[in-house]
Structure 1
Amino acid sequence: MTVTQILATPATGTVEGRRRVLRRALWAAQSLIAAFLFFASAMPKFAGQADAVETFTRIGWGQWFRYVTGAVEAAGAIGLVVPRLAGFAATALIGLLAGAVLTHLLVLDAAWALFPAALAAVCAVIAWDRRAETRDLLRSVAGLLGR
């Protein structure tokens, strides 16, 4: 039995069909994560929502860090929905989310570390799936800088 026969499913019939279904599911996950990061996480930080201010007071790095974190979240959210930037944004968000996991474990409530860890795991899948686009993007930027 060939790899193509193993990967082919009755619902899609071909490897390409299955890949298309998986890609759509990944886009749905990206869209949900992007919406969460932008509207439920970054915007409250920019607006100075009381719980965001209190959280960053507890972290102890100052309120400037709340704005930086919100900016990275907003940029990552936008990048996740731009096809050429999605892999790079997911990779960058893994770093942000790893920091959130550590902050929850060491400073805030350890039980809440599971949520950013789960988001980071999904971002890792996105980054892996979009690695070709990320490689092309980095080559384009390197080409521009090399002129």
Structure 2
Amino acid sequence: MPATSTRRGLGDRALRLLLATVFVVAAGMKLTASDFEVQNFARFGYASWFMYAVGFTQLLGAGLLWIRGYVAYGAIVLAALMAGGVASHLRAGDPVVMAAPALGLLVLLVGLAVNRRDELSSRRG
């Protein structure tokens, strides 16, 4: 039993590390106004301030993935962003393959939130 628990814990930490790394890098690209991000947000029809708001929210979500008791909240915040990313690509008429990375991250984040759902119920009064 402890071996399974240890493997599950390692898998959980590895997934959180992967997700946090992806979102810190993505936030950095937005907060430094990389040409790629500026062009995408303009193509989607969003104001430039929204790119910075998304970047800060990505940093917040990535940070929450490492705070005990708040992992599920971080996953939900980031999943909401990824749902918006998928919708933005589809609304812009992009091929589904361009929305695939956001969709893949969305699936991983929802799985993490479901796995950590006990954190959500423990916060209720």
Matched, 1:29 2:15: yes
Is 1:68–2:53 an aligned residue pair? yes
Whole-Å separation in 2 of the counterparts to 1:56 and 1:96: 13
User: Percent of pairs identical after alignment?
Assistant: 26
Pair 1:49-2:34 in alignment: yes
TM-score scaled by length of structure 2: 0.90
Number of the residue aligned with 2:103: 117
- Amino acid of the structure 2 residue aligned with 1:92: V
CA contact (8 A) 1:88 1:127 kept: yes
For the residues of structure 2 that align with 1:29 and 1:53, how far apart are their CA atoms? 28
Secondary structure, in 3 states, of the residue corresponding to 2:62?
A: helix
> Matches of 1:119 and 1:26 in 2, distance apart?
15
What code does the residue aligned with 1:63 have? Answer: S
Runs (5+) with no aligned partner, structure 1: 1-13, 143-147
Deviation at 1:83, TM superposition (A): 2.3
Amino acid at match of 2:76: T
What is residue 127 of structure 1 aligned with on the other side?
113
CA separation in 2, counterparts of 1:108 and 1:80?
32
Instruction: Give the structure-1-normalised TM-score.
Output: 0.78
The answer as to 2:72 corresponding to 1:87 is yes
Indicate how the Cα distance of structure 1 residues 84 and 62 shifts in structure 2: closer, same or farther if over 3 A, else same: same
Structure 2 residues without counterparts, runs of 5 or longer: none
Which of structure 1's runs of 4+ aligned residues deviate more than 6 A? none
In structure 2, how many angstroms separate the alpha carbons of the residues matched to 1:96 and 1:61? 14
Q: How far apart are residue 36 of structure 1 and its match?
A: 1.0
**Structure 1, residues 67-121: CA drift from partner, whole Å, max 9, x if none?**
1111111111111122221111111211111111111122163322111111111
Residue 17 (structure 1) shift: 2.9
Residue matched to 1:99: 84
Deviations 1:36-94 (A, max 9, x none): 1012x101111111111111111112101101111111111111122221111111211
